[in-house]
Amino acid sequence: MIVIFLGPPGAGKGTQAEYIARRRGIPQLSTGDMLRAAVKAQSPLGIQAEAIMKAGQLVPDELVVGLIESRLTEPACAPGFLLDGFPRTLPQAEMLDALLPRHGRRLAAVLELQVDESALLARLDRRVADAVAAGLPVRPDDNPETFRHRLSVYRDQTTPLIPYYAARGVLHAIDGMQAVAEVSAQIDRVLDSLS
Ligand code: AMP
Interatomic CA distance for residues 72 and 65, integer angstroms: 11
13 is catalytic: yes
Q: Does the beta carbon of 150 lie inside 6 Å of ligand 1?
A: yes
Crossing angle (nearest 10°) for helices 180-194 and 13-24: 50
150 is catalytic: yes
Closest CA to 177 of 109, 119, 112: 119
Bridge partners of 110, per DSSP, are 4, 171
Tell how many helices (H) and how many strands (E) occur in the chain: 9, 5
Which pLDDT belongs to residue 145?
86
pLDDT digits (tens, 9 = 90+) for 106-140: 999 999 999 998 888 888 888 888 988 999 988 88
Split the chain (195 residues) into runs of 10 and give each run's mean pLDDT: 95 93 95 96 96 94 95 94 97 97 96 92 85 88 87 96 98 96 97 90
Which pLDDT belongs to residue 128?
84
* Cβ within 8 Å of residue 29, ≥6 positions away: 68, 71, 72, 77, 81, 82, 83, 84, 86
Interatomic CA distance for residues 183 and 176, integer angstroms: 6
CA of 148 relative to ligand 1 center, distance in Å: 14
Q: Does the beta carbon of 7 lie inside 6 Å of ligand 1?
A: no
Which pLDDT belongs to residue 91?
98
The continuous run of DSSP H or E covering 123 comes out as helix 117-133
54 is catalytic: no
Q: Does the beta carbon of 158 lie inside 6 Å of ligand 1?
A: no
For residue 30, the ligand 1 atom closest to its alpha carbon is 3
Q: Which of 24, 123, 127, 148 is catalytic?
A: 127
pLDDT digits (tens, 9 = 90+) for 115-124: 998 888 888 8
Q: Which of 40, 88, 102, 123 is catalytic?
A: 88
Which pLDDT belongs to residue 37?
96
CA of 31 relative to ligand 1 center, distance in Å: 6
Q: Which of 102, 139, 155, 189 is catalytic?
A: 139
Interatomic CA distance for residues 160 and 110, integer angstroms: 13
Crossing angle (nearest 10°) for helices 31-41 and 44-54: 120
